[in-house]
Structure 1
Amino acid sequence: MTEVTRVPLQPIAKGSLTKLWLGIIVAILIGAGIAWAAVPKSVSVETLTEGTGPSPELGQVVFVNYVGKLPDGTVFDESGASQLPPQLFPEGQPLLLEDGALIDGFIEGLQKTQKGGKYVLEIPANKGYGSAPPPGSPIPANSDLIFEVEIVDMMAREDAERRMMAFQQMMQQQQGEGGPGGPGGPAGPPPAAPGN
């Protein structure tokens, strides 16, 4: 018959069990903190003036006035006066709301706004330029971005393209490229404004 050697169990010292549980809880909290830090941040939208119109949708051209800033307040971009004719286009900088046309965070943020409103979009670096900002720009790598935006108007891409073609025709006629109404050419009817 084989004899089993018994190993005597030492009693747990007073307070050791509490320290063990505290260690386990700390390990869980550290793991949760690491997991939370790994989750990509999303765009935050603060409303300065409530909009009353619809929200921009993918595929639309959105007309905005904006100022882009770094977290320290340095302005790196802002919309200027529109060079488009006011009889064909709303005031503001036209931006195509389409993947690849704008940074992801700007697209995401604009969709959370409404026509007529003013907002502050806080875009985390992972939804901005990340580690590859535009060459020559004052934006450092991995910088968050802040945009103050006013949503002036929006229109379907097709409508904006139609209006742009009408504008180009007006410019060609004014520059006298031999079309009707240009210098030396026969008078032609004024260009028709495209429908809304």
Structure 2
Amino acid sequence: MTDITRVPLQPVASGALTKLWIGVALAVALGGAVAFESRQKGLSVETRQAGAGPMPAATDYVLVNYVGHLASGKEFTHGEHVPIAVSGVIPGFSKALQQMQKGGKYHVFIPARLAYGANEQRDQQTGEVSIPSNSDLTFDIDLVDFKSEQEVMRQRMMMQQLQQMQKGGAAGAGAGAPAPAPGGAPDPTAQ
């Protein structure tokens, strides 16, 4: 048999191994930078003042003070003592609420993909665009309080019973008939 497939090995050039290790180090550094940049574009919850106790669950209702800004710094919304269903808001806001504690103050960055994405939002009164499509949002949020869904339902039932009792005492003859749901009672699920 003959050695037709034999390939002679050439010696490694001087400095080639060093260049190879430099290339590997650059690739690792570039990968780390890309991973860091990707993490920076995600949801960020910065604690400005620590709260205490447990954190709200997705099924809970919160009472918050908040101010929302676009990346340009323009305020697009605000509210004081606003009751909100944790699951009833944009995904980034919901995830942020679940990382907060009662009494805490937070600064939240929500990337567009966890906000409204490509859907622009319009002011209901003026019809003007209040949040352009693909907008990153920031919020300053104070978590005043939160309650479980069961607590909210229990309070709602108590309010209805009180109103039925008040209507029953005033109406006299209609005391046995079920009263309609309260129209003027504050709804903790309203946004």
TM-score under structure 1 length normalisation: 0.65
* Contact 1:62–1:94, Cα closer than 8 Å, also in 2: yes
Once the two structures are TM-superposed, the CA of residue 15 in structure 1 deviates from its matched residue by: 2.5
Residue 63 of structure 1 and its aligned partner are, at CA, apart by: 0.6
Identity %: 43
Alignment correspondent of 1:130? 117
Q: Per the alignment, do residues 168 and 24 of structure 1 end up closer, same or farther by CA in structure 2, a change over 3 Å counting?
A: same
Contact residue 43 and residue 111 of structure 2 kept, 8 A: yes
* Structure with the higher fraction of residues in strand conformation: 2
Q: Is the 8 A contact 1:47 1:120 kept in 2?
A: yes
Task: Tell me the equivalent position of 2:44.
Answer: 44
Give the number of aligned pairs: 169
State which drifts further: 53-62 or 38-47: 38-47
Return 130-139 or 33-42, whichever deviates more: 33-42
- What amino acid does structure 2 have at the position aligned with 1:122? F
- Residue in 2 that maps onto 1:118: 105
Structure 2: which 5+ residue stretches go unaligned? 123-127, 176-181, 183-191
Tell me the TM-score normalised to structure 2 length: 0.66
Question: Using a 3 Å threshold, how does the CA distance of structure 1 residues 168 and 132 change in structure 2: closer, same or farther?
Answer: farther
SS in structure 1 at match of 2:89: coil
* Structure 1: runs of 5 or more not aligned: 81-91, 174-178, 192-196
Q: Aligned-pair distance for 1:155?
A: 1.8
- Give the direction of change, closer, same or farther, for the CA distance of 1:116–1:133 in structure 2 (3 Å limit): same
Bigger share in helix: 2
Q: Residue 30 of structure 1: SS of its match in structure 2?
A: helix
Indicate the residue corresponding to 1:150 in structure 2.
142
